[in-house]
């Protein structure tokens, strides 16, 4: 799914991050957005990372989603190489359980922004949602799908409320 223009490049610092970052690709697949999954580390493979980012830009990546744990330099390193939006997902892979990654991703110096998501699966899913919202700015079909999705979410909550009130869930 990575040949089209306007695709999302999902990069993770290690294959050990893939269980979390699959949440992002799941959301993108659900909205029919072309995307790729790459492993490239800011610390362990900086030259390869630069090559991946340059290559993705040339092929038309519109948004980068970068997931990393520990001293998570990956989203910031990607943001340093591109002016396309970068969404960073902190992953709880170290003894500090993602707080280290969250602070690394959120505390970017002025001038090189990264959108910091929540730690873990919720953040990975929201990175996918936010990428869809960015792409929907120039795509009315996608914008309509987002509105439909919000409606489905609301109906789901109302259904749970009704079930709780009727005693069918405790």
Residues that bind ligand RP5 (CB under 6 A): 13-14, 16-17, 41, 68-70, 91, 93
CB of 70 to ligand RP5, least distance (A): 4
Nearer to ligand RP5, 27 or 72 (CB): 72
CB of 157 to ligand RP5, least distance (A): 33
By 3-state DSSP, what share of the chain in percent is helix, strand and coil, each rounded to 5?
50, 15, 30
Token couple for 160: 């749970």
Nearer to ligand RP5, 8 or 68 (CB): 68
Contacts of 11 (CB under 8 A, 6+ apart): 38, 39, 40, 49, 52, 53, 64, 65, 66, 67, 74, 78
CB of 17 to ligand RP5, least distance (A): 5
Nearer to ligand RP5, 12 or 131 (CB): 12
CB of 166 to ligand RP5, least distance (A): 44
Residue 97 has φ and ψ, to the nearest 5°, of 55, 35
């Amino acid at each position: 799914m990575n040949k089209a223009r306007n695709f999302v490049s999902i990069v993770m610092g290690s294959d050990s991050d893939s269980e979390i970052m699959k949440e992002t690709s799941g959301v993108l697949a659900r909205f029919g957005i072309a995307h790729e999954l790459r492993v490239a580390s800011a610390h362990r493979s900086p030259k390869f990372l630069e090559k991946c980012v340059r290559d993705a830009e040339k092929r038309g990546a519109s948004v980068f989603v970068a997931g990393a744990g520990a001293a998570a330099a990956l989203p910031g390193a990607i943001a340093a190489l591109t002016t396309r939006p970068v969404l960073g997902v902190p992953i709880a892979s170290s003894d500090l359980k993602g707080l280290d990654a969250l602070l690394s991703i959120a505390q970017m110096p002025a001038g090189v922004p990264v959108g910091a998501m929540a730690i873990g699966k919720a953040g990975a899913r929201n990175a996918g949602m936010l990428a869809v919202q960015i792409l929907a700015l120039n795509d009315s079909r996608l914008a309509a799908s987002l509105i439909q999705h919000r409606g489905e979410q609301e109906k789901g909550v109302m259904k749970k409320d009704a079930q709780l009130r009727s005693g069918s869930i405790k």
